[in-house]
Amino acid sequence: MIELKAKEEFLLLIEKHQGIMHKVSKFYCDEEECRKDLFQDILIQLWQSFPKFNNQSKFSTWMYRVALNTAIAQFKKEKKNSENPVSEIPVNIIEEDSYSEKENRRELVHKAIGKLNKAEKAIIILYMDDYSYEEIAEITDITISNVGVKINRIKSKLQKTLKELNYGF
């Protein structure tokens, strides 16, 4: 009975906050199959860790912690995109009719993010999702000042990559 209630509560919370799983899967995987696997893996890890969730932090914060830990520790069979030099990323996507400018920009942002390392991805995903420096420090266990410096560094890195990709020229 208690387990059923817990499961129901868990499912409701996951349904509400599933965006986190989509974001993390998309951030850490380039291929659809990998995304699906990671999504599933995160979901299972969340369910297994749910009894330890003690409401001391927000559910979304706890969920990010589990999702990022799973994504960082996942095994990658191949590291195709992360090793691609920027020059190999197609920059002529905008020329294709099927792509609107907005879609093209999204695509380029994801390509640029794909070039970050796992730790940088974890920090910037939280920043992009409007988490405060304090919250990011709490999730990652690094100091607030360090979070600030790292975010600035990652931002510059992203801007540089996007410039090379002719983003918003």
Q: Which stretches of the chain bind other proteins, using CB under 8 A?
A: 7, 11-12, 14-15, 18-19, 22-23, 26, 37-41, 43-45, 47-49, 52-53, 62, 65-66, 68-70, 72-76, 102, 105-106, 109-110, 113, 117-120, 122, 128, 138-143, 145-146, 149-150, 155, 158-159, 162-163, 167-168
Q: b/e for 90-127, b at 16 or more Cβ within 10 A?
A: ebebbeeeeeeeeebbebbbebbbbbbeeebbbbbbbb
Q: In angstroms, what is the minimal distance from the CB of 139 to other proteins?
A: 6
**Which CB atom, from 88 or from 141, has the smaller least distance to other proteins?**
141
**Which CB atom, from 90 or from 168, has the smaller least distance to other proteins?**
168
**Which pair of tokens denotes residue 15?**
């349904």
Q: In angstroms, what is the minimal distance from the CB of 33 to other proteins?
A: 11
**Which CB atom, from 30 or from 37, has the smaller least distance to other proteins?**
37
Instruction: Kindly report the backbone phi and psi dihedral angles of residue 154, in degrees, each rounded to the nearest multiple of 5, phi listed first.
Output: -65, -40
Q: In angstroms, what is the minimal distance from the CB of 142 to other proteins?
A: 6
Provide the angle, in degrees to the nearest 10, between the axes of the packed helices 59-73 and 2-28.
60
Would you say 116 and 158 are in contact if contact means Cβ atoms under 8 Å apart? Answer: yes
